[in-house]
């Protein structure tokens, strides 16, 4: 039976539930292994006057203390712009920025040394917010622009606004989000021969880790191996910043010749690593009396932190998702990354998409309010229309095709009983004076592919052994998303084997070179496809060999590779099915005849091409789409939000593993809900993060899960692309979590009458209560009669 399409358990599930699955901190201690720690900047901005290591050096058990001048290579790195120092030189630019790396025989000695390091700093006033940065003109990279082909003329664009029946303008604010992977950033570096280093890293990006370590140590890339068996969660946070512990431990290896390990404390991890970018968006939109979009302009500003990291790429994805699932006839967007004195913000599931999607979804809610229509109808009216040339082209010129957005909306409205529930919510709000309820739908159309073209490649190594078992290695890393499981299923089907005979091996730069990070939801698309290419090469050789085996002059069978069947754990010729050779036996025979049973496959996504300078082209191979409806109840006294129900419907193509994909959808969705509700990063005026652990930073708890949660998938026979006609699923559902925020906004709108509801992301209890109090003077009226319920639906 084919295993693609089956809900096989995660390939490490047994290891997960028994505790046998190993993470970096679980690996056995090595002989003479050192504990690594670091001392970071106590201030957000300043100039280092001196570093006094005397007292720290005297701590028993301290083996070495390293500053930037111990580096063997250049002290700067960065995936896009190499502006980031491994260790601070003269300037410190964010709180916790590493200055001294410490290695010691025990964690206690390392910690003691850290406490005794004295860094004298001339403090400067930090730039912390986007407004600070705008005032100081503190930017990373140039402002980028994108506009609808045909909207280039300023005169036409302004005319559209002047002649439109309605316009709205304002500013939209969304906060950052901590990845909160459970396994903190961690690495173990081990010395090899001739100065080589092996780095075992919790990373989404083995190649980048290899390159950065080589650079920092002044080694060739061929002297560094980076491997990753699994991560305890990544979510984008380990796409570039996993380099921090990797470089620190590798430096210690170079200095001491001893193995070295660093597993960041949660507080350190939260303080010094980057997060989802906070955004501020100035917008204006013009629309018709029925709510149809005419023109829109968005100016996005992101808080990039102190170094470039991936910020310009994140901004690009925001700009490419300004439209979300909606056709905007004239759309102009600009994007500017701001440089501030926060840790460099980085990738986080969605990669700028959420910040763009939230703005247009919020606008559509406002537009519905202005034109007096149900927001569902206004959204549906504005959807991209498959096959309609006038409503299919994005602002960057790509055609949105082969989608089922209309059908998704209609099916979701029916299955969730949307119309009836809208009435019930209105009814509730006219009777309850203690609580207010809201319901809303939001959609997603998420572009799949790296927007940086060259990253859309992958390679894989497939080795078949003489007992008929198979090992597979790819450049894709496993962070819980089920990549290994899906590739295992794909490969098992190629050879007609049960998946138990295919084993996924740790990702390693020794086996897969020049890999892309496991990111952009494209892990299976790229690495699965590369594995299939490798399988295809082996199978072709097997067929050629088998054809000779099954040829028989007596029975009139000429050698015919096209008649060879490799399936059900055996090999045969379909003209003589009774003569079967068990697959393992066949492999042993093939080896004896000098048939190569190993192959490396290479895959490059076809057809993606995008010009960053002009903002035009086809950045995406295809889109993953969906929609979700949320209903929430808000306590008018406290602002506390209860998530009553969610209905999620997505087109994820033909699922390779529905159980895994369901987990991706729900997990991503709830992560998105966390972003828009309770996950709040608080800093003090000096740029110190206050929410540095789960005690003060609140990711969703099981009791925050909606009471009713329906998740379903919609068929899309039009989608014929991609590996086994599947679709990427990692990031898109996160943005559907925005529906919970939209439902809260909808609830507040019922209190606001004709006023516009301003609401920021995240809508914490504090944000909701503050907004409600501002809307109605006091949060709770004396009786229903005095409340301001619009009841306009």
| Nearer to another protein among residue 135 and residue 708 (C-beta) | 708
Kindly state whether residue 671 participates in binding another protein, applying the rule CB under 8 A.
yes
**Candidate list 16, 171, 401, 756; residue touching another protein; CB under 8 A:** 16
Kindly state whether residue 284 participates in binding another protein, applying the rule CB under 8 A.
no
Q: How many CB atoms lie within 10 A of CB 760?
A: 17
Could you give the CA distance from residue 665 to residue 671 in angstroms, rounded to a whole number? Answer: 10
Kindly state whether residue 638 participates in binding another protein, applying the rule CB under 8 A.
yes
Find the shortest distance in angstroms from Cβ 12 to another protein: 6
| Nearer to another protein among residue 10 and residue 261 (C-beta) | 10
On whether the CB atoms of residues 134 and 301 are closer than 8 A, the answer is yes
Kindly state whether residue 760 participates in binding another protein, applying the rule CB under 8 A.
no
Could you give the CA distance from residue 33 to residue 36 in angstroms, rounded to a whole number? Answer: 10
Convert 58-121 into a string of H (helix), E (strand) and C (coil).
CCCCEEEEECHHHCCCCCEECCCCCCEECCCCCEECCCCCEEEEEEECCHHHHHHHHHHCEEEE
| Nearer to another protein among residue 10 and residue 271 (C-beta) | 10
Residue partners of 159: CB distance under 8 A and separation at least 6 = none
**Candidate list 471, 765, 788, 792; residue touching another protein; CB under 8 A:** 765
Kindly state whether residue 694 participates in binding another protein, applying the rule CB under 8 A.
yes
Find the shortest distance in angstroms from Cβ 228 to another protein: 12
Gyration radius from the chain CA atoms: 28
| Nearer to another protein among residue 7 and residue 720 (C-beta) | 7
What distance lies between CA 646 and its chain's CA centroid?
22
| Nearer to another protein among residue 559 and residue 780 (C-beta) | 780
Kindly state whether residue 232 participates in binding another protein, applying the rule CB under 8 A.
yes
Kindly state whether residue 7 participates in binding another protein, applying the rule CB under 8 A.
yes
| Nearer to another protein among residue 184 and residue 324 (C-beta) | 184
**Candidate list 144, 198, 380, 662; residue touching another protein; CB under 8 A:** 662
Residues 481-500 touching another protein, rule: CB under 8 A, are: 481-482
**Candidate list 5, 6, 9, 561; residue touching another protein; CB under 8 A:** 9
| Nearer to another protein among residue 145 and residue 266 (C-beta) | 266
Which residue, 334, 278, 335, is CA-closest to 305? 278
Peptide bond into 50 cis (omega under 30): no
Cα distances from 84 to residues 88, 181, 204, 242, in angstroms, run: 9, 23, 19, 14
On whether the CB atoms of residues 516 and 455 are closer than 8 A, the answer is yes
Kindly state whether residue 425 participates in binding another protein, applying the rule CB under 8 A.
yes
Site track for another protein across 506-535, x = CB under 8 A: ------------------------------
Backbone angles phi, psi at 55, to 5 degrees: -65, -40
Site track for another protein across 711-750, x = CB under 8 A: x---------------------------------------
Q: What DSSP line would sit under 128-181, residue for residue?
A: -SHHHHHHHT-EEEEEEEEE-TT---HHHHHHHHHHSSEEEEEEEEE--B----
Q: How many CB atoms lie within 10 A of CB 305?
A: 27
Residues 535-594 touching another protein, rule: CB under 8 A, are: none
Kindly state whether residue 437 participates in binding another protein, applying the rule CB under 8 A.
yes
| Nearer to another protein among residue 383 and residue 627 (C-beta) | 627
Kindly state whether residue 602 participates in binding another protein, applying the rule CB under 8 A.
no
**Candidate list 55, 58, 558, 708; residue touching another protein; CB under 8 A:** 708
Q: Per CB under 8 A, which region of 17-25, 34-42, 161-169, 384-392 contacts another protein?
A: 17-25
Kindly state whether residue 261 participates in binding another protein, applying the rule CB under 8 A.
no
Could you give the CA distance from residue 635 to residue 438 in angstroms, rounded to a whole number? Answer: 12
Kindly state whether residue 779 participates in binding another protein, applying the rule CB under 8 A.
yes
Backbone angles phi, psi at 472, to 5 degrees: -130, 130
Could you give the CA distance from residue 167 to residue 370 in angstroms, rounded to a whole number? Answer: 9
**Candidate list 138, 392, 552, 770; residue touching another protein; CB under 8 A:** 770
| Nearer to another protein among residue 109 and residue 549 (C-beta) | 109
Which residue, 731, 716, 675, is CA-closest to 699? 675
**Candidate list 90, 152, 582, 766; residue touching another protein; CB under 8 A:** 766
| Nearer to another protein among residue 610 and residue 697 (C-beta) | 697
Kindly state whether residue 171 participates in binding another protein, applying the rule CB under 8 A.
no
Q: Per CB under 8 A, which region of 288-296, 371-379, 606-614, 766-774 contacts another protein?
A: 766-774
Residues 672-691 touching another protein, rule: CB under 8 A, are: 678, 680, 682, 690-691
On whether the CB atoms of residues 243 and 207 are closer than 8 A, the answer is no
Helix (H) or strand (E) holding 584: helix 583-592
Q: Classify residue 278 by its DSSP letter.
A: P
Q: Per CB under 8 A, which region of 265-273, 294-302, 450-458, 499-507 contacts another protein?
A: 265-273
Kindly state whether residue 11 participates in binding another protein, applying the rule CB under 8 A.
no
Kindly state whether residue 695 participates in binding another protein, applying the rule CB under 8 A.
yes
Find the shortest distance in angstroms from Cβ 174 to another protein: 17
CA angle, corner 589, sides to 583 and 593, nearest 5? 140
Could you give the CA distance from residue 570 to residue 747 in angstroms, rounded to a whole number? Answer: 61
On whether the CB atoms of residues 73 and 215 are closer than 8 A, the answer is yes
Q: Per CB under 8 A, which region of 214-222, 376-384, 432-440, 514-522 contacts another protein?
A: 432-440
Could you give the CA distance from residue 342 to residue 112 in angstroms, rounded to a whole number? Answer: 26
Kindly state whether residue 79 participates in binding another protein, applying the rule CB under 8 A.
no
Residues 172-201 touching another protein, rule: CB under 8 A, are: 180-184
Which residue, 67, 68, 69, 53, is CA-closest to 112? 53
Q: Per CB under 8 A, which region of 50-58, 506-514, 636-644, 724-732 contacts another protein?
A: 636-644
Does residue 361 carry a catalytic annotation? no
**Candidate list 153, 611, 701, 720; residue touching another protein; CB under 8 A:** 701
Residues 23-52 touching another protein, rule: CB under 8 A, are: 23, 25-26, 28
Residues 319-378 touching another protein, rule: CB under 8 A, are: none
Q: How far apart are the first and last CA of the chain?
A: 52
Backbone angles phi, psi at 143, to 5 degrees: -70, 135
| Nearer to another protein among residue 182 and residue 602 (C-beta) | 182
- Dihedral, CA atoms, 313, 319, 322, 327, nearest 10 degrees? -120
| Strand 98-104, strand 34-40: pairing | antiparallel
Residues 49-68 touching another protein, rule: CB under 8 A, are: 60
Which residue, 479, 482, 726, 484, is CA-closest to 624? 726
On whether the CB atoms of residues 656 and 724 are closer than 8 A, the answer is yes
Find the shortest distance in angstroms from Cβ 639 to another protein: 8
Helices of type H across 631-731: 658-676
| Nearer to another protein among residue 197 and residue 483 (C-beta) | 483
Kindly state whether residue 18 participates in binding another protein, applying the rule CB under 8 A.
yes
**Candidate list 5, 6, 21, 173; residue touching another protein; CB under 8 A:** 21
On whether the CB atoms of residues 731 and 521 are closer than 8 A, the answer is yes
Cα Dmax for the chain: 98
| Nearer to another protein among residue 287 and residue 418 (C-beta) | 418
**Candidate list 480, 523, 584, 601; residue touching another protein; CB under 8 A:** 480
Structure tokens at 181: 């992977």
Backbone angles phi, psi at 213, to 5 degrees: -65, -45
On whether the CB atoms of residues 305 and 345 are closer than 8 A, the answer is yes
Q: Per CB under 8 A, which region of 159-167, 516-524, 573-581, 702-710 contacts another protein?
A: 702-710
Q: Per CB under 8 A, which region of 478-486, 528-536, 590-598, 744-752 contacts another protein?
A: 478-486
Catalytic residue among 33, 208, 680, 731: 731
Residues with catalytic roles: 731
């Amino acid at each position: 039976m084919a295993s693609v399409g089956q809900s096989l358990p995660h390939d490490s599930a047994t290891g997960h539930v028994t505790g046998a699955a190993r993470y970096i901190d679980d690996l056995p201690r090595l002989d003479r292994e050192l504990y690594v720690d670091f001392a970071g900047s106590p201030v957000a901005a300043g100039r280092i006057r001196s570093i006094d290591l005397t007292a720290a050096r005297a701590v028993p058990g301290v083996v070495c203390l390293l500053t930037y001048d111990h580096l063997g290579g250049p002290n700067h790195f960065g995936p896009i712009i190499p502006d980031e120092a491994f260790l601070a030189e003269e300037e410190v630019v964010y709180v916790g920025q590493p200055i001294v790396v410490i290695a010691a025989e025990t964690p206690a000695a390392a910690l003691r040394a850290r406490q005794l390091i004295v860094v004298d700093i001339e403090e400067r006033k930090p730039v912390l917010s986007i407004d600070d940065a705008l005032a100081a003109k503190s930017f990373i990279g140039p402002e980028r622009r994108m506009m609808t082909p045909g909207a280039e003329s300023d005169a036409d664009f302004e005319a559209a606004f002047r002649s439109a029946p309605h316009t709205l303008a304002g500013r939209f604010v969304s906060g950052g989000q901590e990845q909160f992977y459970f396994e903190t950033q961690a690495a173990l570096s081990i010395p090899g021969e001739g100065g080589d280093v092996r780095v075992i890293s919790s990373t989404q990006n083995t190649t980048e880790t290899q390159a950065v370590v080589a650079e920092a140590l002044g080694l060739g890339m061929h002297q560094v191996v980076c491997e990753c068996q699994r991560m305890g969660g990544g979510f984008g946070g380990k796409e570039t910043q996993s380099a921090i512990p990797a470089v620190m431990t590798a430096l210690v290896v170079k200095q001491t010749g001893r193995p070295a390990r660093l597993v960041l404390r949660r507080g350190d991890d939260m303080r010094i690593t980057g997060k989802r970018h906070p955004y501020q968006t100035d917008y204006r939109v013009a629309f018709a009396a029925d709510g149809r979009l005419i023109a829109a302009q968005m100016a996005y500003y992101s808080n990039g932190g102190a170094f470039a990291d991936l910020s310009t790429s994140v901004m690009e994805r925001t700009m490419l998702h300004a439209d979300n699932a909606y056709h905007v006839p004239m759309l102009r967007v600009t994007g500017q990354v701001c440089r501030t004195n926060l840790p460099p913000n980085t990738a986080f599931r969605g990669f700028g998409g959420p910040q763009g999607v939230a703005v247009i979804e919020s606008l559509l809610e406002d537009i519905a309010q202005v034109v007096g229509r149900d927001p569902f109808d206004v959204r549906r009216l504005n959807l991209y229309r498959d096959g309609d040339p006038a409503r299919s082209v994005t602002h960057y010129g790509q055609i949105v095709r082969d989608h089922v957005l209309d059908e998704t909306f209609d099916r979701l409205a029916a299955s969730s009983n949307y119309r009836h529930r809208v009435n019930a919510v209105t009814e509730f709000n006219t009777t309850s004076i203690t609580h207010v309820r809201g319901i809303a739908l939001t959609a997603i159309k998420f572009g799949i592919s790296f927007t940086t073209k060259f990253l859309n490649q992958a390679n894989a190594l497939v080795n078949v052994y003489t007992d008929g078992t198979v090992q597979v290695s790819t450049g894709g890393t496993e962070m819980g998303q089920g990549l290994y499981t899906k590739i295992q299923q794909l490969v098992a089907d190629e050879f007609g084997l049960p998946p138990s005979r295919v084993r996924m091996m740790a990702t390693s730069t020794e086996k897969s070179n020049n890999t892309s990070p496991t990111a952009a939801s494209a892990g299976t698309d790229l690495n699965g496809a590369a594995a299939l290419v490798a399988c295809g090469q082996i199978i072709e050789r097997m067929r050629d060999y088998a054809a000779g085996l099954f040829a028989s002059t007596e029975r009139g069978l000429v050698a015919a590779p096209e008649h060879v069947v490799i399936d059900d754990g055996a090999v045969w010729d379909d003209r003589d099915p009774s003569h079967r050779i068990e697959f393992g036996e066949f492999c042993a025979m093939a080896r004896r005849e000098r048939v190569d049973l190993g192959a490396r496959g290479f895959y490059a996504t076809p057809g993606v091409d995008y010009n960053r300078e002009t903002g035009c082209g086809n950045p995406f191979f295809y889109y993953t789409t969906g929609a979700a409806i949320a209903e929430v109840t808000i306590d008018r006294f406290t602002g506390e939000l209860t998530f009553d129900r969610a209905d999620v419907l997505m087109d994820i193509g033909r699922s390779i593993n529905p159980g895994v994909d369901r987990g991706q959808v729900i997990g991503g969705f709830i992560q998105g809900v966390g972003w828009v509700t309770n996950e709040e990063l608080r800093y003090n005026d000096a740029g110190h993060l206050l929410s540095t652990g789960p005690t003060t930073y609140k990711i969703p708890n099981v009791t925050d899960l909606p009471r009713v949660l329906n998740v379903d998938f919609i068929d899309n026979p039009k989608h014929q692309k991609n590996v086994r006609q599947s679709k990427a699923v990692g990031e898109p559902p996160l943005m559907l979590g925005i529906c919970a925020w939209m439902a809260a906004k909808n609830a507040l709108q019922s209190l606001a009458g004709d006023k516009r509801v301003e609401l920021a992301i995240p809508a914490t209890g504090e944000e909701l209560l503050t907004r409600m109090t501002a809307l109605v003077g006091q949060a709770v009226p004396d009786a229903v009669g005095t409340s301001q319920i619009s009841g306009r639906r």
